[in-house]
Amino acid sequence: MQQEARLIQGNQAIVEGAIYAGARFYAGYPITPSSEIAEECSRVMPKVGGVYIQMEDEIASIAAVVGASLAGAKAFTATSGPGFSLMQENLGLAVMGEVPCVIINVQRAGPSTGLATRPAQSDVMQIRWGRHGDQAIISLSPSSVKECFTLTVQAFNFAEKFRVPVILAADEIVGHMRENFIAPAPGELEVIDRKRPTGPPDQYKPFVADEDGVAPLAAYGDKYVFHVSSSMHGPDGYSNNSPANATWRVTQLHRKLELHRDEIVLTRSFYTDDDIEVLLVAFGATTRAARAAALEARKNGIKAVVLQLITLWPFPDKEVAALGQNSKMIIVPEMNYAGQVAGEVQKALGSNKDIRRVNKYNGQIITPHDILKVMK
């Protein structure tokens, strides 16, 4: 049955996407501009037999999410920059323990409390490297209300499939934007559940990966008894500090994502051409300005192409290189000072390629005009 079109907010679409994906546990602490996600979850979760719990801070929120996930829930939390910073240590535990979970970071402008109600895209590196120690992680970035829904479903799917925390790098613009939205019918989008163990309980080892690089995960309360640890641990989950074990563990954490790199890395290109005059590499809400700028440039006969980075981490270096090598000019607009994504684009293309950066970090949106100015 075709759903009706509704005018809804990005943050609401995130909640609907999470419920669609099977999320039944939300723990969080309110923070602008993500609070509507908590409010909506508090209303919806008890209706679908799930749990909403407002924890005492963001540290506790991600901890509760990890606990619920190990008890078998598809679990998530939402926050913004300052809260995301607080979550980092326990997010590292989720990486180490290979605990599926989703963290929505509706980015706002910092540093520190910064511009609490204004957008930014300045957590790109924090999302990748904010935790201590070696770790691999996945991050997706929506540019519209529809993508808030679909990428939340995708985030849960990746989290479940690869036993890894997935961070949805939204921003205030998409979080608070309202657009017409038609919810996908049940079954229209794929929903993936984590792989459960099937063998004899006494032989279950929660950290022994199958050929696909991912180990099955039981739930507390199943017939499988298992240990999960923030400390370096062996295949059975018990402490093991040997150098050989540490090498094996850390390699496993990276390997499972490397094996599935091409499945995880999602991009989309607009207005493709064989000979690209201008390549705009954009992500999140800025994709919209980039697309408008490209259309405007095309009116003036400039072959402008937009590459949207849907996956931010692992970084789409191959995809950037494939289009970037054939482009005369490359522009990366992003709402941060240092060009956090532009630096990665540069790495993907090599130092001889000139990357033009469009950076805005005053809480104001990047406009098509801002981008068109640097094409000249």
Q: Which residues bind another protein (CB under 8 A)?
A: 24-25, 27, 43, 46-47, 49, 51, 53, 55-57, 59-61, 63-73, 75, 89-90, 93, 97, 219-231, 237-239
Nearer to another protein, 46 or 350 (CB): 46
Rounded Cα distance between 142 and 122, Å, is 15
CB of 336 to another protein, least distance (A): 29
Nearer to another protein, 227 or 261 (CB): 227
Rounded Cα distance between 166 and 151, Å, is 11
Rounded Cα distance between 180 and 356, Å, is 34
CB of 103 to another protein, least distance (A): 14
Is the distance from CB of 121 to CB of 334 less than 8 angstroms?
A: yes
What is the total residue count of the chain?
Answer: 376
Going by C-beta distance under 8 Å and a sequence separation of 6 or more, which residues neighbour residue 239?
Answer: 229, 231, 232, 233
Rounded Cα distance between 118 and 107, Å, is 9
Nearer to another protein, 222 or 277 (CB): 222
CB of 25 to another protein, least distance (A): 5
Which phi and psi (to 5°) does residue 44 adopt? -85, -40
CB of 36 to another protein, least distance (A): 18
Nearer to another protein, 89 or 370 (CB): 89
CB atoms under 10 Å from CB of 95, counted, come to 20
Nearer to another protein, 47 or 376 (CB): 47
CB of 257 to another protein, least distance (A): 23
